[in-house]
Structure 1
Amino acid sequence: MLLTPRVRASRPKTLRIATALLAAATSATLLAATAPAPVKPLGIGDRLFPHLGNPGYDVLSYDLAFTYRGDNKKPLDATTVIDARTSAPLERINLDFAHGKVRSVEVNGAPARFESTGEDLVVTPPKPLNPGEGMRITVRHTSDPRPTKDKDGGWVPTADGLAMANQADAGHRVFPSNDHPADKAMFTIRVTTPKGLTAVANGLPVATAHRGATTTRVFRTHHPMATELAQVSIGRSTVVHRDGPNGLPVRDVVPTKDRKAMERWLKKTPDQIGWMEEKVGRYPFETYGVLMAQARTGFELETQTLSLFESDLFKRPEFPEWYVDSIMVHELAHQWFGDSVSPATWSDLWLNEGHATWYEALYAEEKADKPLQKRMREAYRLSDNWRAAGGPPAAPKGPAPGQKISIFRPVVYDGSALVLYALRQEIGRPAFERLERLWVRTHRDGNATTADFVQLASSVSGRDLGGFFDAWLYGAKTPAMPGHPDWRKAAPAGK
């Protein structure tokens, strides 16, 4: 994710995500059953989002089906099928889900009782589940695109339909899930729309069916994906196809009315992919593309295989071409750093945003003569103030109340890229570049922690870098920059 600069912001830059409760719903038959003990929301204990994710099972795949009837202010009918395997005895199954009405739930084909608490949907299967047991959970529900008082995220209304923006804690506002990046899974996504609208989702298309006045399109990922990276675009769009490096299918989604005007930007993507492959190795997924949405989100987002951009970003005269190019590379770099190699916890966010910012800045240096060292020196000057406001890179402060996306502060962008610059200064360019390539190859399609990065960096460099990283990642103050004893920091804010 990269926050979009605003010259005149008509609304706050940070998103406000609701804590509205999902109304409990049960069928008349199940209401007659004996009520269990009170349910409670659970989580996997993420430091920044304690109730996000759920213990006791591992999701293997999601099959999502949405029916859109042409009005982005009305709920979509939806069905979510979750195939999972238990890792502990379960008398109840907690799912993350809010902002939709649940009509029915089945577990392994049998009706199950369900109720809501906080932002959890709690399901009681007909009989307890044993460790290692497979389970299929089928939830028939609505998926509501309408905003609530404190909400942005999940579905994003556009001028001609909808898109998704689920980071960092909003996937469960769209579909029931284990909504934490630590539990990645395969996705199949089915979208039914009126004819005349185009639906596109993560992965590659596998089927299209026309029935009466509607069209259903089916997409499937070839690699596991975190829930926060799911994407569905519905609108009056044109899908533009071209070849990328090594025959990679490149698929862009652009408002039909802007198709010709946007070609100058879209045709850049194959070369940008090629540039990233030179830096870190082969692109990690089955396809890539740019989704230009007619929406004001306040950010750009690295949804897997189809990065979300505000279409106005490409039309704003105050942004020079090199700057927009570098933003495109920022979201592209996330396909390696954040999407293929996903954070194990949200405190590992610096690994996503620091690397995306690093390659954004490196691209600007190599392609537009914008010196990386100059940008890093300015980041160094401001770094102590960023740490004071947002915490150190690997131990960020929690989100502001009602603003979950406020964890995306300057310290996780340029403040974290600064750590990578310091590391390159410390171990030398050749070792740093080997580390980058090995990192994305070692942890491809998985999750990784800050400790994993420290361990790999130490191995590549041939020496223990624990002390170096402790200071740079967890210190309240920014350490001295290796090789630049003359770099100075700004006075503390307010003094």
Structure 2
Amino acid sequence: MLLTSRRLRAALLAAASATLVAATPSAAPPTPEALGIGDPLFPTLGNPGYDVLTYDLDLTYGGDNTKPLDSVTKINAVTTERLERVNLDFTHGTVRSVRVNGEPATFATAGEDLVVTPARPLGAGARMAVTVHHTSDPRGRAGGWVRTTDGLVMANQADAGHRVFPGNDHPADKAYFTFRITVPENLTAVANGLPEEKNRAGATTTWTYRTHHPMATELAQVSIGKSAVLHREGPRGLPVRDVVPAADTAKLEPWLKKTPAQMRWMEQQVGPYPFETYGLLIATAETGFELETQTLSLFERALFTRPEYAAWYVDAIMVHELAHQWFGNSVTPRTWSDLWLNEGHASWYEALYAEEYGKRPLEERMRTAYGMSDSWRAEGGPPAAPEPPTPGHQISLFRPVVYDGSALVLYALRQEIGASAFQRLERLWVRQHRDSTATTADFTALASDVAGRDLSGFFRAWLYGKKTPPMPGHPEWRTETVPANRPGGRDTDPGAAPDTARERPVKPE
């Protein structure tokens, strides 16, 4: 069950005073098994039976990014059913101890789950405070921690958050986060949200950050390194902070100073920025992607330093990740099949910005996307029904069809209902679902309300059809068969000068 922001706060207060509900002793529970909430694309992600309200992550980094971090994760949750066992998503770390509501609990692993057995069963509606002492291992290349030249950053999308810390690793269960990061005194630690404290003890410093809005686990971010934190002012005095390699502050400043104006442009499109702060985290690492971690978007340093990337292109990518703060972060997909709502909207505003400031015509880009759309659908499924990730490629769902293929759906919608109704829809969407999750059905229902007519047939064809429907207003547009490796796809070599912003991958493969 999803809780909205207001209900989250109410539940948090209720959970603070709730007591453990005693249950009648029963037979020994069955063998631990991995569970999930049944997401069509990631069926083992998430766990039934509880809603997480808060995470408190305590990470200690010794200065070597090839060694595990000592970590403590505290989870404050409310049960939604009687639980004899509590499943947490967690892998790639060593669990040392677990306590539930202050009492020692036994634990075992099953698949990528940490299965916890409390001393006594938990009744429905009970407070559940879980404390896990564990390590967090930065080694490996399957997402989670990303090693930089001077430390670490996180890249948890889509299903790698549980490689860093135990939790309910599915976007349907958003929660508030507190981070306490202890690092050697010569390093800087930054996380989502705003700073709370900075305490030095001997040769280490502990940095504390707290989010003011709920967040999905895949959007968590911690940066550790020899970083400079640069401050500036955004719209209406909003604090903007950028985290960059200390040696590159002058080189990167021409890009960083653009953010406030880009934020004002996005607010003109869809309304007020939804969070307490924003900024860019620029990492010295070869990732090949950018990532919209909440309030602090992750960028690869090479995006801003490689001369073959045109200025309009870099600006558009910056706006793409900024747009995600509304679409994907504040309004989060209920299931991973709703991903088109994230990437389609981010690609849409990226394209609008490129047209306005880079003189790259939107209609030309959409006509190109239309020509490729049937091939994209054949390769990855239609926008709202992507094919499941292939074995060994856990996040291969980030395909062209969910980028420009989904922006094409929004273009068709604007053609169908008119620009004025489309803008009303966009502003209503982010306002009504702020700090919450939403589905494709929610979006299509709101679009019908705004348009004043039933659009279910339109969306059924555009979102679920194997073939791309005719484009409203452009009956002359035609689709074509396009080879899978044609430029514009996810496998394009970023070494070539891009012709459209979507030619550079923005998600990990």
TM normalised by structure 1 equals 0.92
Query: In structure 2, which of residues 177, 181, 184 is the aligned counterpart of residue 187 of structure 1?
Result: 177
Say whether residues 1:144 and 2:144 are aligned partners.
Answer: no
Say whether residues 1:232 and 2:225 are aligned partners.
Answer: no
Cα deviation for residue 402 of structure 1 reads 1.4
In structure 2, the partner of 1:314 is 304
Letter in 2 for 1:63: D
Say whether residues 1:261 and 2:251 are aligned partners.
Answer: yes
The 5 Å alignment of 1:422-441 reads 422-441=412-431
Cα deviation for residue 492 of structure 1 reads 6.2
- Alignment partners' CA distance in 1, 2:77 and 2:222: 23
In structure 2, the partner of 1:54 is 47
> 1:254 is paired with a residue of what secondary structure?
strand
Q: Show CA shifts across 1:210-238 (max 9, x none).
A: 00000000000000000000000000000
Cα deviation for residue 393 of structure 1 reads 0.1
Say whether residues 1:385 and 2:375 are aligned partners.
Answer: yes
- Alignment partners' CA distance in 2, 1:253 and 1:381: 40
Q: Show CA shifts across 1:355-400 (max 9, x none).
A: 0000000000011111000000000000000000000000000111
In structure 2, the partner of 1:7 is none
In structure 2, the partner of 1:196 is 186
In structure 1, the partner of 2:441 is 451
- Alignment partners' CA distance in 1, 2:30 and 2:454: 51
- Alignment partners' CA distance in 2, 1:369 and 1:152: 38
Cα deviation for residue 36 of structure 1 reads 4.9
- Alignment partners' CA distance in 2, 1:405 and 1:126: 37
> 1:112 is paired with a residue of what secondary structure?
strand
Query: In structure 2, which of residues 335, 346, 349 is the aligned counterpart of residue 356 of structure 1?
Result: 346
Cα deviation for residue 491 of structure 1 reads 2.9
Query: In structure 2, which of residues 218, 225, 232 is the aligned counterpart of residue 242 of structure 1?
Result: 232
In structure 2, the partner of 1:206 is 196
Query: In structure 1, which of residues 78, 91, 96 is the aligned counterpart of residue 84 of structure 2?
Result: 91
Cα deviation for residue 37 of structure 1 reads 2.8
Letter in 2 for 1:84: A
Cα deviation for residue 404 of structure 1 reads 1.2
In structure 2, the partner of 1:29 is none
- Alignment partners' CA distance in 2, 1:383 and 1:234: 41
Task: Mark the CA change 1:214 to 1:493 in structure 2 (over 3 Å): closer, same or farther.
Answer: closer
Task: Mark the CA change 1:70 to 1:35 in structure 2 (over 3 Å): closer, same or farther.
Answer: farther
- Alignment partners' CA distance in 1, 2:72 and 2:481: 55
- Alignment partners' CA distance in 1, 2:251 and 2:288: 22
- Alignment partners' CA distance in 2, 1:368 and 1:313: 17
Say whether residues 1:74 and 2:76 are aligned partners.
Answer: no
Cα deviation for residue 267 of structure 1 reads 0.1
Query: In structure 1, which of residues 95, 102, 125 is the aligned counterpart of residue 118 of structure 2?
Result: 125
In structure 2, the partner of 1:419 is 409
- Alignment partners' CA distance in 2, 1:339 and 1:440: 10
- Alignment partners' CA distance in 2, 1:397 and 1:172: 23
Letter in 1 for 2:75: I
Letter in 1 for 2:231: H
* % identity of equivalent residues: 71
- Alignment partners' CA distance in 2, 1:333 and 1:187: 22
Say whether residues 1:115 and 2:105 are aligned partners.
Answer: no
Q: Show CA shifts across 1:428-478 (max 9, x none).
A: 000000000000000000000000000000000000000000000000000
> 1:300 is paired with a residue of what secondary structure?
coil
Query: In structure 2, which of residues 120, 143, 154 is the aligned counterpart of residue 153 of structure 1?
Result: 143
> 1:51 is paired with a residue of what secondary structure?
coil
Cα deviation for residue 493 of structure 1 reads 4.8
The 5 Å alignment of 1:11-30 reads none
In structure 2, the partner of 1:105 is 98
Q: Show CA shifts across 1:122-141 (max 9, x none).
A: 00000000000011000000
Letter in 2 for 1:104: S
Letter in 2 for 1:192: T
Task: Mark the CA change 1:421 to 1:90 in structure 2 (over 3 Å): closer, same or farther.
Answer: same
TM normalised by structure 2 equals 0.89
Letter in 2 for 1:273: M
The 5 Å alignment of 1:338-377 reads 338-377=328-367
Q: Show CA shifts across 1:19-52 (max 9, x none).
A: xxxxxxxxxxxxxxx9853111000000000000
- Contact 2:29–2:84 (CA<8 Å) still a contact in 1? no
In structure 2, the partner of 1:215 is 205
Q: Show CA shifts across 1:125-172 (max 9, x none).
A: 00000000011000000000011xxx4210000000000000000000
